[in-house]
Structure 1
Amino acid sequence: MLLLAVDTATPAVTAALHDGSSVVAETSSVDARRHGELLLPAVDRVLAEAGVRLDAVTAVITGVGPGPYTGLRVGLVTAATFGSALGVPVHGLCTLDGLAYASGLEGPFAVATDARRKEVYWARYDSARERVGGPSVDRPADIAEELAGLPVVGAGARLYPEAFPDARGPEHVSAGALASLAAERLAADPSGSSGGGFLPPLPLYLRRPDAQVPKNYKVVTPT
């Protein structure tokens, strides 16, 4: 098994390789405006560090969000392209699940990432491997009472300390955490055919993109 994992749903552009036992190479850069420029070089770095060729990859893991429209689709399109070119399966995972897994927390907690517009993407967990609510998108003040007393993992928690006083790390998802979570799930279901906690490799936006087609625009046609 050699899993290639990527995620661009947050400001972190991250890639990792996992051999079924452990992460063998990983890299992350935090830059919310350069997902398209940074992802392929990141994949090249982890392949070089591991000393393997791309055609050794047996499956691709991609974070599906939730996340902003432009950044999120970079990782998904890249994962789909690799899967098609290599003839290997592409498995989606909720990006928030990767953060929960990396936190290592046990007991009730939440994960929150920056959704912009003064909102957060968030979900509730009973453990680092079990999501019990969400993902959703809301204003921090609207969910502060619901999450009162719970640790909240992620950059969204650190942005709004008045709503989430018990903020925890990590702030951004790592592809290594996604790959490790995927390896556990594939060990239980090697084909991933029964679901196994995977999602379709499609974007999880939760809301419409900022850019909209004008409703009343003038149509100019030749006479």
Structure 2
Amino acid sequence: MLVLAIDTATPAITAGLVELTADAVRPRAARVTENARRHAELLMPGVLAACADAGAKLAEVDAVVTGVGPGPFTGLRVGMVTAAALGDALGVPVHGVGTLDAIAADVAAGEPLVVVTDARRREVYWAAYDGAGTLLDGPHVTAPAALVDRLPELGATAAAGPSAAATGLAVRSTAGPSPVGLVAVAAAALRAGAEPAPLEPLYLRRPDAVPPGQAKKVTTP
């Protein structure tokens, strides 16, 4: 099975093709560009470049996997909308997976782990995992200090993700999710041919943009 993987929940704009077999998740090609403000402009060129690198056509893709965050509102929705549009155009299923889960799958630390990414506004997104990569707590959005205060309770001994250094723990990786990590999280559902759940973004807080309020009435004397 040839799977297209996409994630735009972090400053890393990730696109890649992954070969999923009955017992393996094999990378075919990956394009990762670091740019926190150009997700919309760079994602599809990355998808097409990954296809060219893999010697495959988009029409050969059997499924799409996309990260659903948590992540900033604008960047996150670029990847999810693109994944949904490609799935519709190609007539293939689209599976959403947690971005932090994918980073944890990439690291495969074998030890209690927290995955931490930048949430802006002097906050971080984080989630805690056991040594097998199973989610224990989160995802949450908090100040870094609030996460550090919880580390003894969580029992984590290492950290991963672009903002891992904020924890003071041993850092296993500062990368965003890879195509292999994204597909690994969805592998069981893909192999089983399960119906994907509706794509639901993990914003964890309200977007900055809000509808304008009702205009004030102007009275005349």
- Work out whether the TM-score is over 0.5: yes
Among candidates 77, 82, 87, match of residue 81 of structure 2: 77
State yes or no: 1:147 paired with 2:146: no
Q: Which runs of 5+ in 1 are unaligned?
A: none
* SS state at 1:91 partner: strand
* Structure 2 equivalent of residue 166 of structure 1: 170
> What is the Cα deviation at residue 171 of structure 1?
2.8
State yes or no: 1:208 paired with 2:206: yes
8 Å CA contact retained: 1:73, 1:203: yes
8 Å CA contact retained: 2:16, 2:28: yes
TM-score w.r.t. the length of structure 2 is 0.88
In angstroms, what is the RMSD of aligned CA positions?
1.9
* SS state at 1:84 partner: helix
Residue-by-residue CA offset, 1:74-114 (whole Å, 9 max, x unaligned): 00000000111111110000000111011121121110100
> What is the Cα deviation at residue 183 of structure 1?
2.9
Residue-by-residue CA offset, 1:31-68 (whole Å, 9 max, x unaligned): 00110011001110111111111111111000000000
Of 139-148 and 27-36, deviating more is 139-148
Of 80-89 and 100-109, deviating more is 100-109
* Structure 2 equivalent of residue 12 of structure 1: 12
8 Å CA contact retained: 2:111, 2:157: no
Structure 2 counterpart of 1:16, one-letter code: G
Distance 1:3 1:66 in 2: 22
> What is the Cα deviation at residue 200 of structure 1?
3.4
TM-score w.r.t. the length of structure 1 is 0.87
State yes or no: 1:36 paired with 2:40: yes
8 Å CA contact retained: 1:5, 1:16: yes
Q: Which runs of 5+ in 2 are unaligned?
A: none
Among candidates 97, 106, 112, match of residue 108 of structure 1: 112
Distance 1:105 1:169 in 2: 10
Distance 1:65 1:106 in 2: 23
8 Å CA contact retained: 2:163, 2:174: no
Distance 1:41 1:131 in 2: 33
8 Å CA contact retained: 1:93, 1:199: no
Distance 1:180 1:47 in 2: 19
Of 72-81 and 200-209, deviating more is 200-209
Identity, % of aligned pairs?
A: 48
How many residues are paired up? 211
